[in-house]
Chain A
Amino acid sequence: MTGIDRKENFIRAVLLLAAFSAVSVLAVITVFIFAEGTPVMFRRGVGRFLFGLNWFPGEGRFGLLPMIVGSLEVTLGALIIGVPFALACAIILTEFSSPRLRNILKPVIELLAGIPSVVYGFIGVVVLVPFIRETFGGPGFSVLAASIVLGIMILPTVISISIDALQALPPSYREGALAMGATRWQTVRMVLLPSARSGIVASVILGMGRAVGETMAVIMIAGNAAAVPRTPLEPVRTLTSNIALEMSYASGEHREALFATGVILFVIIMVLNTLANVSSSRRARRKKG
């Protein structure tokens, strides 16, 4: 073996090592979260964790159901509020706007994806919460406020991935439908949206992941009461806020219970990731075939 070959092999080995960094980090995170979080779940009973209604860490009662329901509610709310607007934007920008307007609006929307979540939360506190309190009553810090802010926060994600999905369609789809006398809207509704469905679904799932995982904005506006809200105007605590609120002072079994909260969050996110992955790889396969 020559010196050059040896050097090349060495470089390849180093790069292979680097390539495993992401997978290893993922593995290490999984191991640590589960190792810290699952023992207390089994000791206290998995059922009590998942379906218990009472979160009193001081008394050793760790019912996470209010937080699980809370996370699902605000996420669902965010989708109901955010997705229609996001799709409207995606359709307008790909099908109805002039290229010039698209070239201005798309980057503006993408620039805003970088605004930190604390800023969104803060705007929620100073603008939205008082508005809800005065208009609908209640404390203002509520499921509704959290849903609206999260709905806004997922807009850039859903918009840009939906635009990519619509733009990736072969031009012949559009041309064929228009040539048959369909209006632009009929083309969008009957041809483009159905064909881009898997990409759009992937964008919604990714938006959902962002909403479930969002922490700081939610803490600031959701009110954080650890009880299942009966109306959208009542405060709510999500899985993420449960961790962030109590992490700074928790110890012993309480801290373990927060890691258990992390385990549940982790599982939800992994399921969503896999779904998004399946949905977009189905699209890729169909494009190839």
Chain B
Amino acid sequence: MRVHPRLEQRLVKVVLWSMTAITVFVLLFIVAYILRRGLPVLSLSFLTENPHEMGRTGGIFSTIVGTLALTAMALAVATPLGVGTAIFLNEYTWESRLTRIIRFGADCLAGIPSIIFGLFGFILFVIKLGFGWSILSGGLTLAFMILPTIIRTSEEALRSVPRSYREVSMSLGSTKWQMVTRVVLPSALPGIVTGVILSVGRSIGETAAVIFTAGSALRLPTSIFSSSRTMSVHFYILAREGISMPNAYGTAAVLVLSILLVNIVTYRLMHRFIRKYS
């Protein structure tokens, strides 16, 4: 039996549209479900009090501090390395076997599962280098995880800076480094910042790599050698061990809200950046 192409198209469109609707519904459902149960738990004291009795009562202050400390550590290490890599690839060399190897390395690193990073960070930082479960170990592990994202987005940002900017700068007698720091980097900055913020989102949500390197101490961290629990680890432990469902939902809501916020800021920045150069 042959179906008329117009009828076929109409049927296919119904099917595809319903599948799209289901997809969007499911994704929004997840966010809505968490927020509906989590938002009522949120209060100023939930955010500013430390957890008591393993998190059964009290707030999540120390885990917020832990998350921020770990993320800051990761960014402090990964940003210079990632942006440096991007500058080298885009400004200081041309396509060759070397750049292909560097890009392939970054791509592979991006595909490695977080649990492998966790294993690696555990054996290298926690055991071999003797940092123990600490913000230092967790931050370094996270830095390696977000490095590919920062390289990739910085490279794209640098590439979108028009060639003429560089030519004008060079023709005015600047050295390469002057050109990079005074002309190229300032123009590419919003794009680079976008990549960094994107990595913040990834660090906040990461659990598997962090739980084996930063540990799960609930105390407020005092130095980079303190073990510290992040929000996502705290949420995982609360939910998995059934310690407190309301607090689990509350933590999840903070987690989801902060990641949505980070992603929306990223998206805005990226949009403005694209509009500027096209």
User: With A and B bound together, what is the CA distance between A119 and B101 in angstroms?
Assistant: 36
Number of interface residues of B (CB under 8 A): 82
Interface of B is mostly: helix
Given the complex, which residues of A lie within 8 Å of B17, measured CB to CB?
A: 92, 96
Task: Check if B239 sits within 8 Å of A209, measured CB to CB.
Answer: no
User: With A and B bound together, what is the CA distance between A20 and B112 in angstroms?
Assistant: 18
| Beta-carbon contacts under 8 Å, A1-52 to B | 4, 7-8, 11-12, 14-23, 25-26, 28-29, 32-33, 36
Task: Check if A269 sits within 8 Å of B113, measured CB to CB.
Answer: yes
Task: Check if A266 sits within 8 Å of B177, measured CB to CB.
Answer: no
Task: Check if A116 sits within 8 Å of B120, measured CB to CB.
Answer: no
**A25, A89, A214, A269: residue with the most chain B Cβ atoms closer than 10 Å:** A25
User: With A and B bound together, what is the CA distance between A118 and B231 in angstroms?
Assistant: 11
Given the complex, which residues of B lie within 8 Å of A20, measured CB to CB?
A: 102
Task: Check if A215 sits within 8 Å of B33, measured CB to CB.
Answer: no
Chain B 199-226 per-residue mask, 1 if CB under 8 angstroms from chain A, else 0:
0011011111001100000000000000
Given the complex, which residues of A lie within 8 Å of B12, measured CB to CB?
A: 185
Partner pick for B114 among A32, A156, A215, CB 8 A cutoff: A215
Task: Check if B88 sits within 8 Å of A16, measured CB to CB.
Answer: yes
Task: Check if A220 sits within 8 Å of B84, measured CB to CB.
Answer: no
Number of interface residues of A (CB under 8 A): 83
| Beta-carbon contacts under 8 Å, B1-35 to A | 5-6, 8-9, 12-13, 15-17, 19-20, 22-24, 26-28, 30-31, 33-34
Task: Check if A117 sits within 8 Å of B205, measured CB to CB.
Answer: yes
Chain A 82-107 per-residue mask, 1 if CB under 8 angstroms from chain B, else 0:
00111011011100100000000101
User: With A and B bound together, what is the CA distance between A219 and B233 in angstroms?
Assistant: 13
- Across the A-B interface, how many residue pairs have beta carbons closer than 8 Å? 243
Task: Check if A216 sits within 8 Å of B207, measured CB to CB.
Answer: yes
Q: Pick out which of these stretches binds chain A: B39-47, B162-170, B182-190, B252-260.
A: B252-260
Q: Pick out which of these stretches binds chain B: A62-70, A161-169, A241-249.
A: A241-249
Q: Pick out which of these stretches binds chain A: B49-57, B68-76, B103-111.
A: B103-111
Task: Check if B23 sits within 8 Å of A88, measured CB to CB.
Answer: yes
Given the complex, which residues of B lie within 8 Å of A156, measured CB to CB?
A: 27
Given the complex, which residues of B lie within 8 Å of A212, measured CB to CB?
A: 113
Task: Check if A127 sits within 8 Å of B89, measured CB to CB.
Answer: no
Given the complex, which residues of B lie within 8 Å of A84, measured CB to CB?
A: 19
Task: Check if A19 sits within 8 Å of B115, measured CB to CB.
Answer: no
Task: Check if A114 sits within 8 Å of B202, measured CB to CB.
Answer: yes
Q: Which residue of B lies closest to A185 (CB)?
A: B9
Partner pick for A22 among B118, B124, B151, CB 8 A cutoff: B151
Task: Check if B19 sits within 8 Å of A85, measured CB to CB.
Answer: yes
Q: Is A80 an interface residue (CB 8 A)?
A: no
**Known interface pairs A118-B236, A266-B112; A277-B175 also in contact (CB < 8 Å):** no
Task: Check if A269 sits within 8 Å of B92, measured CB to CB.
Answer: no
Partner pick for A152 among B26, B112, B115, B256, CB 8 A cutoff: B26
Q: Is B274 an interface residue (CB 8 A)?
A: no
Q: Is B85 an interface residue (CB 8 A)?
A: yes
Partner pick for A216 among B27, B107, B208, CB 8 A cutoff: B208
Q: Is B263 an interface residue (CB 8 A)?
A: yes
**B23, B82, B148: residue with the most chain A Cβ atoms closer than 10 Å:** B23
Given the complex, which residues of A lie within 8 Å of B240, measured CB to CB?
A: 219-220
Q: Is A284 an interface residue (CB 8 A)?
A: no
Q: Is B157 an interface residue (CB 8 A)?
A: no
User: With A and B bound together, what is the CA distance between A36 and B126 in angstroms?
Assistant: 14
User: With A and B bound together, what is the CA distance between A247 and B102 in angstroms?
Assistant: 32
Partner pick for B5 among A86, A127, A186, A219, CB 8 A cutoff: A186
Given the complex, which residues of B lie within 8 Å of A29, measured CB to CB?
A: 109, 112, 116-117, 120, 144
Q: Pick out which of these stretches binds chain B: A139-147, A172-180, A228-236, A257-265.
A: A257-265
| Beta-carbon contacts under 8 Å, A163-214 to B | 182-186, 206, 209, 212-214
**Known interface pairs A22-B105, A152-B26, A183-B6; A265-B239 also in contact (CB < 8 Å):** no
How far does the Cβ of A143 sit from chain B's closest Cβ, in whole Å? 19
Task: Check if A265 sits within 8 Å of B144, measured CB to CB.
Answer: no
User: With A and B bound together, what is the CA distance between A16 and B91 in angstroms?
Assistant: 11
Q: Is B119 an interface residue (CB 8 A)?
A: yes
**Known interface pairs A15-B92, A107-B267; A115-B102 also in contact (CB < 8 Å):** no
Given the complex, which residues of B lie within 8 Å of A36, measured CB to CB?
A: 119, 123
Chain A 123-144 per-residue mask, 1 if CB under 8 angstroms from chain B, else 0:
1010100000000000000000
**Known interface pairs A22-B151, A88-B20, A215-B115; A277-B207 also in contact (CB < 8 Å):** no
> What are 7 contact pairs spanning A and B, CB under 8 A?
A21-B84, A159-B23, A182-B5, A215-B115, A244-B212, A265-B115, A266-B116
Other CB < 8 Å A-B pairs besides A21-B81, A23-B106, A185-B9, 6 of them? A18-B84, A22-B81, A108-B27, A112-B27, A186-B5, A216-B208
**The 10 residue pairs across chains A and B that have the minimum distance between CB atoms:** A213-B113, A18-B84, A116-B205, A23-B105, A88-B19, A15-B88, A185-B9, A19-B88, A215-B208, A22-B106
